[in-house]
Amino acid sequence: MKFALQRRPLGSGRKAVAFVSWSCLLHTTTLAMTVVPKNVVVVGGGVQGTSVAYQLALRTPASTTITILESQQPASAASGKGGGFMARSWGDGSPTQGLHELAFDMYSDLAQTLGCESYRKLPVLSVSPGYNGMKAARKNKDLAKIIPGWLDGTVGRVGSMGGGEDTAQITPQEFVEKMLEHQSRIQVVLGTCWGVETDQGSERGSRKVATVEYNPKENPAEKKLLPADTIIVSAGPWSCAAEDWFHGAVQLPMEGIKSTSIVWKKPEGNDVDATALFCGEDDRFGTHLEVYPRPDGTIYICGIGGSDYVSKEDLKEGAFREICEANELRVAAAKASFQEMSSVYKTSGELDRSQACMRPCPPDAMPYMGSVPGYEGAYINAGHNCWGIAWAPACGKAMAELILDGESRCVNLTPFDPARYTPDAQRGTRGRKQRGNNVGEQW
């Protein structure tokens, strides 16, 4: 399925299912904790992992250590290269609707608390590639108000997808950096996780997380351990490797969809009006552009077409984690497609950068959020597809509630059970390793 098709308002799902409860809206950070973890390790420093760490830091005492174990740099993957678009009511009425709504509301507060300059609400237009559409669009007063100055080339039909009440944007890298700055007790360790050691759990046959095994970035041949009574695997598409860390107790089918995006420099002397575009399929170039002008005057564009599909086996090997390069043919197609719509950028537009990143896609397009069966202190928060930035604050809050209170009240996590693809007979089966030693199934 194509990227752009997934990220548009679908059907009449506007208000169909709201999983955000009133108790959540009243929930404050002062709730009594039922569990006080000693050492939390979050694997993955993208927007999802950092949001979980941030929400845990809000609710745990200073004695709880919170470590993000990040293979490259925080926000170095999709969380640094994604668009950062969010839409409160664009869910499809499925269980993810509640994530859209809660996160959208949390973002406006968080952006203020953290001082994120890249956050703003903005209107959205739908634009068909083609000719002679602008004359009719300008005759519609409401539409004319939100047509950006830079949309001055040839376009087909133009329509409104929202006046900016329930659509917004944030540059995800800034958001991640600001969360880390604000909660300075979250420490970031650079290294790649490759396993989890356990002790016997409190229930017969269960296991308790004891340490996280990793190779430090500065010396990948070295093996190091981080003490952990709680681990949250939030490593984007690469989270499927946790199948092996938990010895098959949870199956995490995953595909990585790798796409190119481009960023235009702010044009000299021109203001860049704040209206986002969702463009129809442009058969001339094979694109279906999503255009997000940012508050710093740059314009981010994805929906460039020609994405690559990366298999679970390759993801487990770390494919495209360290190096993920733009497809130059798609860069050229995106430039040409956008320049048809904007004579300003056709004559004087300059690219700031081109890049590529992967979105994490479970087969049912629903995230994996919950605990690992048969393990104490082991959680997955991954596979957020094309909405991982938009949903991040809600996911962080829901996971913090699950870890500290034993259940999430703000989001119903049942549909996101990480073990939903795990055959019953395999769920939480006892592993074979205790503190590095092979112990078979017998302990």
Ligand X SMILES: Cc1cc2nc3c(=O)[nH]c(=O)nc-3n(C[C@H](O)[C@H](O)[C@H](O)COP(=O)(O)OP(=O)(O)OC[C@H]3O[C@@H](n4cnc5c(N)ncnc54)[C@H](O)[C@@H]3O)c2cc1C
- Contact between 233 and 382 under an 8 Å Cβ cutoff? The reply is yes
Which is nearer to ligand X, 193 or 402 (by Cβ)?
193
From the CB of 214, what's the least distance to ligand X, in Å? 7
Which is nearer to ligand X, 209 or 357 (by Cβ)?
357
Which is nearer to ligand X, 59 or 321 (by Cβ)?
321
- Contact between 155 and 342 under an 8 Å Cβ cutoff? The reply is no
Per DSSP (E only), the strands in 59-107 are 65-70, 85-87
From the CB of 77, what's the least distance to ligand X, in Å? 4
- Contact between 344 and 150 under an 8 Å Cβ cutoff? The reply is yes
Which is nearer to ligand X, 24 or 235 (by Cβ)?
235
- CA angle 380–395–293, rounded 5-degree value: 120
From the CB of 389, what's the least distance to ligand X, in Å? 3
Which is nearer to ligand X, 252 or 358 (by Cβ)?
358
Spatial separation of the C-alpha atoms in residues 8 and 288, rounded to whole Å: 12
From the CB of 349, what's the least distance to ligand X, in Å? 20
Spatial separation of the C-alpha atoms in residues 237 and 250, rounded to whole Å: 15
Spatial separation of the C-alpha atoms in residues 410 and 251, rounded to whole Å: 26
- Contact between 193 and 213 under an 8 Å Cβ cutoff? The reply is yes
From the CB of 200, what's the least distance to ligand X, in Å? 25
Task: Tokens for 238, please give them.
Answer: 């690469």
Which is nearer to ligand X, 46 or 373 (by Cβ)?
46
From the CB of 68, what's the least distance to ligand X, in Å? 8
List of residues contacting ligand X (CB under 6 A): 43-49, 69-72, 76-79, 82-86, 192-193, 234-236, 238, 241, 259, 261, 302, 321, 357-360, 382, 384-390
- Burial (CB count within 10 angstroms: exposed 0-12, middle 13-18, buried 19+), residue 32: exposed
